[in-house]
Amino acid sequence: MFDPKTNRFPYPYETDRHYLKVHKNRGIVFDTAYPYLDRSTWFRLRQGVVRLLLHLIVFPAAGIRLGLKIEGRQNLKKHRDVIRKGIVSCSNHVHLWDYICIMKAVRPYRTNVLSWAPNINGENGTLIRMVGGIPIPDTGLAATKTYLKTVQSLLDNGGWLQIYAEGSMWEYYAPVRPFKPGTAHIACAGQKPVLPLGFSYREPGWIRKNVFHQIATFTLRIGEPIFPDSTLAENEQRRNLTVRCHEAVCRLCGIDPKENLYPPVFADSKRVDYYTTEYGVGYRD
């Protein structure tokens, strides 16, 4: 497995923290009255136009720009009966365009994605909403209950919900960071399976590296659904699912879970600086 080991980006000390700056605050309040899934006619018309542009322009451009290869699409057909009943997907979060890659990979399914509230409130918020972004509210328990109820309704009606279980985006970072419990919490609450997805890297060719200064090209692998173990107690069921999903994403990224740099479950986890040490990462080719 190719590891870019770049130091171009200021990865935070805590593994779930963001480092990109949001330069605008549109003042939206994500409370109990906010439409986490906007089903209005006007919104759906605009979303239809955006989806058309995605298929005609954005998906081809992203595939070329990132050198994207998609593997495992046969699993979508193999498990379509399961997917059509509602599914959660989770992956590592390694590029600003990786959700575009996921949308491209799982066509014809339409996806929604949980998004950091400041991003929805920021300069790109409208676009994020158009491609299925659902903000995670930070305004109190009542708003959280409303948002979770909306998400469960989406899944119960056969929807697809993408969650970035690491909690934030770190561009071109190869180790799979610890997973926060939200993915398993939502999946277990509705007894829905989780479809693991994994982004890994390939070394760019001479033109990409020297002309376009590209750090790496991308491979996205699609795994097979992982079901909650209903025989376990509630807390243990969530932890068990988190661990199994993390291990599956590691394998899809070409990493032996036992030799990944981080443990599977987030516990105030801190960044490990293996770039300047002799730490044995132990990746599998």
Mean pLDDT value across residues 82-108: 97
pLDDT for the residue numbered 283: 35
pLDDT for the residue numbered 277: 42
| pLDDT of residue 278 exceeding 70 | no
- Name the average pLDDT for the chain: 94
Nearest CA among 29, 158, 169 for reference residue 101: 169
* SS3 call for 15: coil
CATH architecture of 41-269: 3-Layer(aba) Sandwich (3.40)
* Residue 150 CA: distances (Å) to CA of 32, 36, 112, 143, 247: 11, 7, 12, 11, 29
Task: Give me the numbers of helices (H) and strands (E) for the chain, helices first please.
Answer: 11, 7
Among 123-132, 162-171, 273-282, where is mean pLDDT lowest?
273-282
pLDDT tens by residue, 241-273: 999 999 999 999 999 999 999 999 999 999 998
Q: Where are the domains of the chain?
A: 41-269
Inter-residue contact 128 to 93 (CB < 8 Å): no
Overall size of the chain counted in residues:
285
Cis peptide before 12 (omega within 30 of 0): no
